[in-house]
Every structure is written in structure tokens, then in C-alpha cells.
Amino acid sequence: MSHRRRSHAAVAPPPPEGDGGGSSPGKAGRIRPWPERRVLALAMAFRAANALLVRTYFNPDEHWQCLEVAHRIAFGYGHLTWEWKRGLRGYLHPLIFAALYKFLAFLHLDTPWFMAMAPRLLQSVFASFGDLYLYKLSKLIFNEHVAQWTLFSQLVNWFMFFCITRTLSNSLETVLTVAGLYYWFVAIESSKGISVISKQQATSYQSPQSRKMALLIAALACAIRPTSAITWLYVGLLDFIQIKFKCQFLFLEVIPLGAIVLAVTTFLDWWMHGSWVIVPLNFLKFNLFSSGGDYYGTHVFHWYFTQGFPSMIWTFLPFSVFGIIKSREWKLSGLIAWVLGVYSILGHKEFRFVLPVLPLALMFSGYCLAAMSQFKERN
């Protein structure tokens, strides 16, 4: 999503070029940058503890759509629910954990404790990379000060702590969404020839392959969770209007990368299902076009706006609203509204469905908290 820096969007005047740039709270020159390796190490340690501390039951899909399937792949026995028999689920996600189970068996560590906790710990590694990419995305769009407060918001948010280390497909989808958005924004800045960060930093961030990396990650997110297409449809269409070489973008980037990922995942599903099935098509037909999910319960259309998402973001809600208004990053905040709006059309609603946009809301919370900390310093 293309975005434009606004000088009046900042709480403080933007620093001169080379000081970190960006129309966001706090002067970047006063904020000591955190090395990304240190951020990743912190996130890994925190999410490992997160995975070990969360011992509650949340959703059956965490087990029956992932770990039970992975156990069946690795050891030859395990129950498959009716969704697998009807070709509504793909094997890409469970195969990750099946490989983990095989590795544990090879090391003779396939004991009950390791079999139960190792998948959570692996997901905690994925989650820590999601934290890192949210930090990098916040730094790219705003600055170091906002990025640090965004990381704080991400780590202490109760629902993120409760859900992100679980082996739900939504958890991995969230990580891929944040990483994909980061590379997409890098590609936008590179194509414009400017950056919200300093020129020295931009040299290390920019890559001619950033947009392809973003598209590849987006395709993987859709393969893990087909409804991730809702997010990337918004992102792609907004910027497609401004792309000069539209045919080149479609036929040399979007379609080839999408086709490769679809072919690989379809082959995996054929290999595991024993017949040709197009899982994304079956998934979308059942959940979107036939309202099959309504069997599991329905909610009023405004549930995500009035109850679901506010419960997830909880105490950070006022900070996020302030950050959205003050930063004026309308296209990015519009992505949150778009996802919540599209999911509101569906009768069956769950908290985890909109987990991928929770980090974005927490990024706006980080913007607000950075502005508040700067105001406190001035007074």
C-alpha cells in the first residue's frame, strides 16, 4: 500500500535527513536504535516462555487440524476429521510439524512432554520472527521510537500472548502477513526512489526482489489459510492502480509466483489425499459461498467491531484509535477496517480469524505511546 509522509502528522518536527526520518513521534536521533539480532533474541526468549506458560485450551483446530494430522503423517495413526475427508484442508501446515515429530523420533525424544511442547516451541520461533518483522515494519513506516513501543505493545497484549504460540493456522498466517507487508512496503519505497528512513539505512533495506518476496510470502499465507486472500486483495488492488507496468506485474510476478505455490501445494495435497483436490477452492466454497461455517454458530454482523476485536486489543484500544487518527496512515488503518468488514459478512465469527490485523492495530498503539512518552519528556 503506497503511503505518503505528512509533515503535520508528527507530534514533533521531522528530523533532518540522516537522523532516522519519518513523520512520527520522537526524534530518532535521541533514540538509541536496537540491533535487530538483539530484538530477535529478546523475542525468541519471550515467546519460548510464552509457549511454556500458556497451558490452556482454546480451539479444537489447534489439535485436530494440525497436530493430530501431523502425528498421523509421522507415525501412521491419528484421527482425521471430516474436513480432511472432504478436501477442505491442506497438508502444508501440518507437514511442518510432522517433520518436527520425525526429528524428535530420530533423536529418541518422542516422549509425551516433548511431543506436547515441541510444536508450541517451534511456533514460538515463528512468532518471534513475526515480532521482529513488526518492529521492522514500524521502523520503516514511522521510526525507531515508535518501533520500540510497538514491540512493547505486541509482547504484552493479552490475546497475542494467549494465541500466537498455538499451532493454529491463523498464528502462522499472522506471522507471514506481517513479514509480507514489511517487504511490500520496502518495495514501495524503493520504487518511489525515496524512503521514510535515512539514505544510509535505505541502502541496507532496499532490494529489487522485495516485491517478489512479498508476493511469495503472500502466496504462502494464502496456501496456509486461503482467507488470507482478503488481506492481500486489499493490499494489491490499492497499489495496482499506481503501478506503471501493470502487465509486467501481473504476468511476470503475481501469476508465476502464485502458480508455483499453488502447484506445489496441490501436489502435496494430491500426494497426501490420494486424489486431486484444490483445497483453496473447496475451502472458499464451503466457508464463503455455502456458509458451511454457520453450523458452528453465528454472530451479529457488527460483532468484530463492537465485541470481537475490542476484546482482542483490550486496553490498547484507545491508544490504537489515537494512533490511527494522529498518524493519518489511512490506507494501513483501512486494511484493518477492510478485514473486519469482510469477515463481518460471514455469519460464523471467531477471534482468531482476524488475528493477522491485530499487530497492525498494536503498531498504531505504539505510535500513540511514543507520542505520550515524548510529551512526558517535554514536561
pLDDT at 106: 97
76 falls within a domain: yes
Give residue 267's pLDDT band: very low, low, confident or very high (50, 70, 90): very high
In a domain, 80, yes or no: yes
Residue 202, pLDDT score: 41
Tell me if 201 is assigned to some domain: no
Residue 344 within any structural domain of the chain: yes
Count how many domains the chain has: 1
| Neighbour-count burial of 74, counting CB atoms closer than 10 A to its CB (0-12 exposed, 13-18 middle, 19+ buried) | buried
Q: Is 103 exposed, middle or buried (0-12, 13-18, 19+ CB in 10 A)?
A: middle
Q: Show contacts of 242-245: CB within 8 Å, 24+ apart.
A: 242/2
148 close to 26: Cβ distance less than 8 angstroms: no
Q: What is the pLDDT of residues 199-245, one digit of tens each?
A: 444 434 435 589 999 999 999 999 999 999 999 999 999 888 888 88
Cell numbers that stand for 362 in this block: 498494536
Domain carrying residue 68: 36-192+206-373
Cβ(93)–Cβ(265) below 8 Å: no
For residue 283, give Cα distances in angstroms to 262, 328, 369.
14, 36, 40
* pLDDT, tens digit, 9 for 90 and up, residues 179-204: 999 999 998 876 654 444 444 444 34
Q: What is the pLDDT of residue 24?
A: 63
In 10 A of CB 226, how many CB atoms? 21
Question: Where does the pLDDT of residue 1 fall: very low under 50, low under 70, confident under 90, or very high at 90 and above?
Answer: low
Would you call 274 helix, strand, or coil by DSSP? coil
pLDDT in tens, 295-345: 788 999 999 999 999 999 999 999 999 999 999 999 999 999 999 999 999
C-alpha cell at 238: 490499492
Instruction: Specify if 200 maps to a domain.
Output: no
Taking residues 52-71, report their average pLDDT: 94
Helices (H) and strands (E) in the chain, counts: 20, 0
What is the Cα–Cα distance from 200 to 263, expressed in whole angstroms? Answer: 40
Classify residue 112: in a domain, yes or no: yes
262 domain-assigned: yes
270 located within any domain:
yes
Q: Look at residue 361 in the predicted model and tell me its pLDDT.
A: 98
